[in-house]
Amino acid sequence: MGVLGKDLFDFHRPQTNTKVEFGASAYWVEDRTMPQPYGAVLTEILNLDVAPFQELLNQLNTAVQEKSDNVLRAYMDMKKGLASLPLYRLYLEDFRVFGDMPVEAFAVGEAQDAFAEFVMQEDHDLPAFMQQQIDDIRLIQERYAWFLDGVFAGAVFEKKKGQKKIPLAPMICSRGYGAFISGVSLGENPETDAP
Protein backbone atom coordinates (compact mmCIF):
# COMPACT_ATOMS: atom_id res chain seq x y z
CA MET A 1 0.00 0.00 0.00
CA GLY A 2 1.47 3.32 -1.00
CA VAL A 3 0.42 5.49 1.89
CA LEU A 4 1.84 8.92 1.23
CA GLY A 5 0.28 10.40 -1.86
CA LYS A 6 -0.97 7.42 -3.87
CA ASP A 7 -4.52 6.11 -4.10
CA LEU A 8 -5.76 2.56 -3.76
CA PHE A 9 -7.53 1.05 -6.76
CA ASP A 10 -9.84 -1.88 -7.22
CA PHE A 11 -9.50 -2.79 -10.89
CA HIS A 12 -12.36 -5.33 -10.88
CA ARG A 13 -14.68 -2.90 -12.64
CA PRO A 14 -15.22 -3.91 -16.26
CA GLN A 15 -16.79 -0.55 -17.20
CA THR A 16 -13.93 1.43 -15.75
CA ASN A 17 -11.18 2.92 -17.82
CA THR A 18 -8.60 4.33 -15.45
CA LYS A 19 -5.38 5.62 -16.92
CA VAL A 20 -2.60 5.65 -14.35
CA GLU A 21 0.89 6.81 -15.16
CA PHE A 22 3.24 6.31 -12.25
CA GLY A 23 5.36 9.33 -11.65
CA ALA A 24 2.60 11.60 -12.95
CA SER A 25 0.78 13.96 -10.62
CA ALA A 26 -2.74 12.76 -11.45
CA TYR A 27 -4.86 10.06 -13.09
CA TRP A 28 -7.89 10.18 -15.36
CA VAL A 29 -11.13 8.31 -14.83
CA GLU A 30 -13.61 7.38 -17.57
CA ASP A 31 -15.38 10.39 -19.05
CA ARG A 32 -14.09 12.94 -16.57
CA THR A 33 -12.05 15.57 -18.34
CA MET A 34 -10.33 16.80 -15.21
CA PRO A 35 -7.50 14.69 -13.79
CA GLN A 36 -7.81 13.37 -10.25
CA PRO A 37 -4.75 14.42 -8.21
CA TYR A 38 -2.90 11.55 -6.58
CA GLY A 39 -3.77 11.34 -2.93
CA ALA A 40 -7.14 13.10 -3.22
CA VAL A 41 -9.18 9.94 -2.62
CA LEU A 42 -6.84 8.78 0.13
CA THR A 43 -7.12 12.16 1.85
CA GLU A 44 -10.92 11.95 1.68
CA ILE A 45 -10.82 8.40 3.08
CA LEU A 46 -8.60 9.46 5.97
CA ASN A 47 -10.93 12.35 6.86
CA LEU A 48 -14.21 10.51 6.27
CA ASP A 49 -16.72 9.94 9.05
CA VAL A 50 -18.21 6.55 8.15
CA ALA A 51 -20.97 6.72 10.78
CA PRO A 52 -23.62 8.15 8.37
CA PHE A 53 -22.83 5.40 5.84
CA GLN A 54 -23.05 2.73 8.54
CA GLU A 55 -26.39 4.23 9.60
CA LEU A 56 -27.75 3.86 6.04
CA LEU A 57 -26.72 0.22 6.03
CA ASN A 58 -28.21 -0.35 9.49
CA GLN A 59 -31.51 1.21 8.37
CA LEU A 60 -31.62 -1.17 5.41
CA ASN A 61 -30.83 -4.21 7.57
CA THR A 62 -33.52 -3.20 10.07
CA ALA A 63 -36.08 -2.66 7.28
CA VAL A 64 -35.28 -6.08 5.78
CA GLN A 65 -35.51 -7.86 9.14
CA GLU A 66 -38.80 -6.15 10.01
CA LYS A 67 -40.10 -6.56 6.44
CA SER A 68 -40.92 -2.87 6.56
CA ASP A 69 -42.77 -0.94 3.87
CA ASN A 70 -39.86 1.49 3.53
CA VAL A 71 -37.36 -1.22 2.57
CA LEU A 72 -37.14 0.06 -1.03
CA ARG A 73 -36.39 3.62 0.12
CA ALA A 74 -33.76 2.27 2.55
CA TYR A 75 -32.17 0.22 -0.26
CA MET A 76 -32.04 3.17 -2.65
CA ASP A 77 -30.58 5.38 0.11
CA MET A 78 -27.95 2.73 0.78
CA LYS A 79 -27.02 2.63 -2.93
CA LYS A 80 -26.74 6.40 -2.98
CA GLY A 81 -24.54 6.23 0.11
CA LEU A 82 -22.26 3.66 -1.52
CA ALA A 83 -21.91 5.89 -4.57
CA SER A 84 -20.98 8.79 -2.28
CA LEU A 85 -17.98 7.02 -0.77
CA PRO A 86 -14.75 8.71 -1.92
CA LEU A 87 -13.47 6.16 -4.44
CA TYR A 88 -16.87 5.22 -5.85
CA ARG A 89 -17.98 8.82 -6.34
CA LEU A 90 -15.85 8.79 -9.48
CA TYR A 91 -17.63 5.76 -10.96
CA LEU A 92 -21.14 5.13 -9.65
CA GLU A 93 -22.98 8.23 -10.81
CA ASP A 94 -26.15 6.32 -11.73
CA PHE A 95 -26.48 5.03 -8.14
CA ARG A 96 -26.73 8.62 -6.93
CA VAL A 97 -29.31 9.54 -9.57
CA PHE A 98 -31.50 6.55 -8.69
CA GLY A 99 -31.00 7.24 -4.99
CA ASP A 100 -32.63 10.66 -5.39
CA MET A 101 -35.67 9.28 -7.21
CA PRO A 102 -38.93 8.48 -5.47
CA VAL A 103 -39.38 4.71 -5.33
CA GLU A 104 -42.56 5.05 -7.41
CA ALA A 105 -40.57 6.67 -10.23
CA PHE A 106 -37.95 3.91 -10.16
CA ALA A 107 -40.29 0.92 -10.23
CA VAL A 108 -44.09 0.66 -10.53
CA GLY A 109 -46.67 -2.07 -10.10
CA GLU A 110 -45.34 -5.60 -10.40
CA ALA A 111 -41.81 -4.31 -10.94
CA GLN A 112 -41.97 -2.60 -7.56
CA ASP A 113 -43.14 -5.85 -5.94
CA ALA A 114 -40.32 -7.77 -7.62
CA PHE A 115 -37.84 -5.12 -6.51
CA ALA A 116 -39.11 -5.42 -2.93
CA GLU A 117 -38.74 -9.22 -3.07
CA PHE A 118 -35.18 -8.81 -4.34
CA VAL A 119 -34.31 -6.41 -1.51
CA MET A 120 -35.89 -8.71 1.09
CA GLN A 121 -33.54 -11.51 0.04
CA GLU A 122 -30.56 -11.31 2.31
CA ASP A 123 -28.17 -12.97 -0.13
CA HIS A 124 -27.57 -10.13 -2.62
CA ASP A 125 -24.09 -8.65 -2.67
CA LEU A 126 -24.49 -4.87 -2.52
CA PRO A 127 -25.13 -4.41 1.24
CA ALA A 128 -22.30 -6.83 2.07
CA PHE A 129 -20.05 -4.99 -0.39
CA MET A 130 -20.87 -1.64 1.24
CA GLN A 131 -20.18 -3.08 4.70
CA GLN A 132 -16.81 -4.32 3.43
CA GLN A 133 -16.00 -0.84 2.08
CA ILE A 134 -16.89 0.75 5.42
CA ASP A 135 -14.74 -1.80 7.27
CA ASP A 136 -11.86 -1.21 4.84
CA ILE A 137 -12.07 2.56 5.32
CA ARG A 138 -11.98 2.10 9.09
CA LEU A 139 -8.94 -0.19 8.72
CA ILE A 140 -7.12 2.32 6.49
CA GLN A 141 -7.83 5.11 8.99
CA GLU A 142 -6.65 2.94 11.88
CA ARG A 143 -3.46 1.82 10.09
CA TYR A 144 -2.65 5.33 8.95
CA ALA A 145 -3.00 6.59 12.52
CA TRP A 146 -0.69 3.74 13.63
CA PHE A 147 1.80 4.71 10.92
CA LEU A 148 1.82 8.37 11.94
CA ASP A 149 2.04 7.53 15.64
CA GLY A 150 5.05 5.31 14.92
CA VAL A 151 6.82 7.79 12.68
CA PHE A 152 6.37 10.77 14.96
CA ALA A 153 6.83 9.04 18.33
CA GLY A 154 9.34 11.12 20.23
CA ALA A 155 9.78 13.55 17.34
CA VAL A 156 10.82 17.11 18.05
CA PHE A 157 8.26 19.56 16.69
CA GLU A 158 9.41 22.73 18.40
CA LYS A 159 13.17 22.71 18.44
CA LYS A 160 14.74 23.86 21.66
CA LYS A 161 18.29 25.10 21.96
CA GLY A 162 20.70 22.27 21.29
CA GLN A 163 18.08 19.85 19.92
CA LYS A 164 18.43 18.44 16.45
CA LYS A 165 15.33 18.35 14.28
CA ILE A 166 15.41 15.31 11.98
CA PRO A 167 13.87 15.68 8.50
CA LEU A 168 10.86 13.47 7.74
CA ALA A 169 12.44 11.13 5.16
CA PRO A 170 15.40 10.07 7.36
CA MET A 171 13.03 9.71 10.31
CA ILE A 172 10.82 7.33 8.30
CA CYS A 173 13.79 5.28 7.10
CA SER A 174 15.45 5.08 10.51
CA ARG A 175 12.29 3.70 12.09
CA GLY A 176 11.77 1.00 9.47
CA TYR A 177 8.69 2.48 7.83
CA GLY A 178 10.22 2.81 4.37
CA ALA A 179 8.16 -0.10 3.01
CA PHE A 180 4.96 1.85 3.63
CA ILE A 181 5.77 4.77 1.37
CA SER A 182 6.89 5.35 -2.18
CA GLY A 183 10.19 6.52 -3.58
CA VAL A 184 8.47 9.63 -4.90
CA SER A 185 7.24 10.42 -1.40
CA LEU A 186 10.80 10.23 -0.10
CA GLY A 187 12.09 12.41 -2.91
CA GLU A 188 14.42 9.74 -4.30
CA ASN A 189 13.29 10.18 -7.89
CA PRO A 190 10.50 12.54 -8.98
CA GLU A 191 9.80 10.55 -12.17
CA THR A 192 9.21 7.03 -10.92
CA ASP A 193 7.54 5.27 -8.07
CA ALA A 194 8.48 2.10 -6.26
CA PRO A 195 7.05 -1.05 -7.93
By three-state DSSP, how is residue 85 classified? coil
**How many domains does the structure of the chain reveal?**
1
Q: Is residue 13 part of a domain?
A: no
8-34 average pLDDT score? 54
Q: What is the CA radius of gyration of the chain?
A: 22
Q: Using 50, 70 and 90 to split pLDDT, how confident is the model at 37?
A: confident
Q: Is residue 158 part of a domain?
A: no
Q: Is residue 109 part of a domain?
A: yes
Average pLDDT, whole number, for the chain? 72
The answer to whether 184 and 193 have CB atoms below 8 angstroms apart is yes
The answer to whether 47 and 66 have CB atoms below 8 angstroms apart is no
Q: Which residue type does 86 have?
A: P
Q: Is residue 56 part of a domain?
A: yes
User: How far is Cα 53 from Cα 49, in angstroms, rounded to an integer?
Assistant: 8
Domain holding 124, by residue range, is 51-137
Q: Which residue type does 53 have?
A: F
Q: Is residue 93 part of a domain?
A: yes
Q: Is residue 126 part of a domain?
A: yes
Q: Is residue 75 part of a domain?
A: yes
pLDDT tens per residue across span 166-178: 777 777 777 777 6
pLDDT tens per residue across span 47-75: 899 999 999 999 988 988 888 888 888 88
pTM summary value: 0.66
CA contacts within 13 A on the Cβ side of 24: 11
Q: Is residue 91 part of a domain?
A: yes
